[in-house]
Amino acid sequence: MEILFLGTAASEGFPNPFCSCENCQEARNEGKKSIRLRSSLLINDEILVDFGPDIVSSANRFGKNLSEVKHIFITHSHSDHLFFKNFEYRNPIFSGSFEKLFHVDLIVPNKLGKVLKDEVELPKISLMAVEPYKELHFNGYIIYTIKANHTSNYDETPLNYIFEKDNKKVMYAVDTGKFLPETMNYLKENIKYLDVLILDGTMGFNKKYEYHMGFDEVIQTKELLYKEGIVDNNTKIIVSHFSHLHNPKHSKLEEIYGKHNIIVAFDGLKIK
């Protein structure tokens, strides 16, 4: 699988355009990998994970034609991960090649399905609302839905996802606090091993919050999964979804996380 990070920032972007804190200023000065759009992931050019307000900018930035996307997975309803207006851009009034668009499977957490059905026009889109700890099959992929330890706008159950193809498993676990006990049990009993693990780095180094991870939680999660044999030295462990309020510029993050053999994601990072 080819994984492309379209964005790696938390809700307000990094730097926040309305902030002159030390982290934002240093990110502006460093540029390049320190400039982050809101988080989204593209897998093999056909699976899109999250559909936030920066999707137009990030797709154009990396030369991606999202008309080739066949499956969209939404983790939860917070606006940095789901921006309703995006669906309009697929419609004939905006798309000059609507007839050529792939029919898309849109997978969302349980109660979010009704909200989208009521509020958004979804031409050429099949909507599926799913519960945690289910196994889905699409186009040669197996997708496992994992309950995230997070909050939501519409009382839906936020999800993380595991994508499996050709016996390789990639877990996208941003916007979650520490893994729930039921999640650990599911990983041990059903997943067994992860080739790529992407974790939430939102809270960084100076604040704790139950529904996001920071540096300490990332390290603890890595050690716990290592102890259980779910990850090992061959697993690519990556941290993403950074808030400027709690994280320094990219080069400093690389220095800190690199000591623990953890990759720091940046916009445009490709993993194969």
For 80-111, how does the pLDDT look when each residue is reduced to its tens digit (9 = 90+)? 999 999 999 999 999 999 999 999 999 999 99
- pLDDT on residue 189: 97
pTM of the predicted structure, to 2 decimals: 0.97
Buried b (16+ CB within 10 A) or exposed e, 48-81: bbbbbbbbeebbeeeebebeebbbbbbbbbbebb
Do the Cβ atoms of 240 and 218 come closer than 8 Å?
no
Classify residue 9 by its DSSP letter: B
Cβ 257 vs Cβ 236: under 8 Å:
no
In a domain, 271, yes or no: no
206 falls in which pLDDT band (50, 70, 90)?
confident
Give the angle 238-109-5 at the CA atoms, nearest 5°.
Answer: 25
| Domain presence at residue 156 | yes
Q: In what order do the strands lie in the sheet with 125-130?
A: 125-130, 104-109, 71-73, 47-49, 40-43, 3-7, 270-271
Q: What is the pLDDT of residue 238?
A: 98
Is 103 part of a structural domain of the chain?
yes
Contacts of 253 (CB under 8 A, 6+ apart): 201, 239, 242, 247, 264
Place of tokens 């309009």: 88
Residue 160 covered by a domain: yes
User: In the chain, how long is the greatest CA-to-CA distance?
Assistant: 53
Q: Would you state the pLDDT for residue 168?
A: 97
Examine residue 174 and state whether it is found in any structural domain, yes or no.
Answer: yes
The continuous run of DSSP H or E covering 126 comes out as: strand 125-130
The predicted model gives 36-58 an average pLDDT of 98
**How many domains are contained in the chain?**
1
Provide the CATH number for the domain around residue 62.
Answer: 3.60.15.10
> Which residues 6+ apart lie within 8 Å of 155 measured at CB?
111
Residue 74 DSSP symbol: -
User: Does any domain span residue 272?
Assistant: no
Residue 237 domain boundaries: 3-266
CA distances from 156 to 15, 146, 193, 257 (A): 29, 13, 28, 32
